[in-house]
């Protein structure tokens, strides 16, 4: 599928930032800055901390905002003795539609394995939500020439138990770990090269139709100043934005410049 036919998906991952008061203010400002035409051209998901979800959901529903509510993480089990964790079925009740899974910080800091990522994908889709699967390589992987091995291995492991229809509805975000929060980004050509390889791997693991349908994002120090170059690449369908999404004005510019460079 060519990028002219694929609607961009712009996702803001707030990580452990913004209390629920700040979250409400940020969403209200973002809603003021984005127009109906912007929302017709791009899909915008917002992924606040767990403590903000109910406040943001209530605001979106009450004011009929066109933001799509997302979560940053969930547990693989529906319920049980998992103190401090959150179930996917709880998220679904809050009208959460997208859930980030396998983010590099979850993998590196909290020891989330490929097997756990597999399980989370299954439970997210079981409850009718869309997973944003994160894959990426460290600086040492990159310097050792293991980028493809690492990234495509994560893709294969995640998708091996998914059906073609399940894969079609998913999102995969390529986030080079060495670029997250460092101010560095992969060049647009480098990002396109890896994301194109991911699409080819999806076709090998599942099917060509799944590879055509799946949305592929880039994440890693995305800003309004570099979004045009990133989004001009044919296989990049959107971006997963970290720090820049905390500033409503900057995130609005990213959303707007994504659509202007599209096609």
Per-residue confidence in pLDDT tens, the chain, 263 aa: 444 457 999 999 999 999 999 999 999 999 999 999 999 999 999 999 999 999 999 999 999 999 999 999 999 999 999 999 999 999 999 999 999 999 999 999 999 999 999 999 999 999 999 999 999 999 899 989 999 999 999 999 999 999 999 999 999 999 998 887 777 778 889 999 999 999 999 999 999 999 999 999 999 889 999 999 999 999 999 999 999 999 999 999 999 999 854 44
Active site residue 115: no
Find the catalytic residue in 76, 105, 137, 175.
175
Do 177 and 139 meet the contact criterion of CB atoms below 8 Å apart? Answer: yes
Helix H or strand E segment including 47: strand 43-47
Do the domain assignments include residue 17? yes
- Exposed, middle or buried: residue 114 (CB in 10 Å: 0-12, 13-18, 19+)? middle
Active site residue 103: yes
Print the domain residue range for 123.
7-260
For residue 179, give both structure tokens.
């670029």
Do the domain assignments include residue 158? yes
Q: Which residue has the tokens 């291995």?
A: 153
Distance of CA 12 to the CA centre of its chain: 8
Do the domain assignments include residue 1? no
Spatial distance between the Cα atoms of 153 and 137, rounded to a whole number of angstroms: 11
Comparing CA positions, the residue from 161, 160, 158, 142 lying closest to residue 150 is 142
State the Cα angle at 155 between 242 and 236, rounded to 5°.
50
State the Cα angle at 18 between 126 and 224, rounded to 5°.
85
Do the domain assignments include residue 2? no
Give me the CATH number covering residue 255: 3.20.20.70
- Count CB atoms within 10 A of the CB of residue 58: 13
Residue 141 phi, psi (nearest 5)? -60, -45
pTM for the full model? 0.95
Find the catalytic residue in 18, 103, 105, 137.
103
From residue 128, give the alpha-carbon distance in Å to each of 63, 85, 110, 123. 24, 19, 26, 9
Do the domain assignments include residue 146? yes
Do the domain assignments include residue 177? yes
For the chain, the domain total comes to 1
Do the domain assignments include residue 213? yes
- DSSP characters over 86-143: -BHHHHHHTT--EEEES-HHHHHHS---HHHHHHHHHHHHHTT-EEEEEE---HHHHH
Do the domain assignments include residue 109? yes
From residue 50, give the alpha-carbon distance in Å to each of 38, 102, 228, 260. 27, 17, 31, 32
């Amino acid at each position: 599928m060519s990028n002219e036919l694929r609607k961009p998906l712009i996702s803001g991952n707030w990580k452990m930032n913004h209390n629920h008061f700040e979250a409400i203010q940020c969403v209200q400002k973002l809603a003021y800055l984005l127009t109906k035409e912007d929302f017709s051209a791009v899909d915008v998901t917002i992924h606040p901390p767990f403590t903000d979800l109910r406040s943001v959901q209530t605001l979106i529903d009450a004011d009929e905002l066109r933001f799509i509510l997302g979560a940053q993480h969930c547990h693989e089990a529906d319920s049980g003795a998992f103190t401090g964790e959150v179930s996917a079925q709880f998220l679904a009740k809050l009208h959460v539609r997208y859930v980030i899974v396998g983010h590099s910080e979850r993998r590196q800091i909290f020891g989330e394995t490929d097997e756990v990522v597999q399980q989370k994908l299954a439970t997210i889709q079981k409850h009718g939500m869309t997973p944003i699967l994160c894959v990426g390589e460290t600086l040492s992987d990159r310097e050792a020439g293991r980028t493809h091995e690492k990234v495509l291995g994560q893709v294969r492991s995640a998708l091996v138990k998914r059906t073609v229809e399940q894969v079609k509805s998913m999102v995969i975000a390529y986030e080079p770990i060495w670029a997250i929060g460092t101010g560095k980004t992969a060049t647009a050509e480098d990002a396109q090269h890896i994301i194109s390889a991911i699409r080819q791997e999806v076709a090998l693991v599942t099917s060509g139709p799944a590879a055509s349908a799946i949305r592929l994002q880039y994440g890693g120090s995305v800003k309004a100043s570099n979004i045009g170059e990133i989004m001009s690449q044919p296989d990049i369908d959107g971006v997963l934005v970290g720090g820049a999404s905390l500033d409503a004005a900057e995130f609005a510019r990213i959303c707007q410049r994504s659509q202007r460079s599209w096609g």
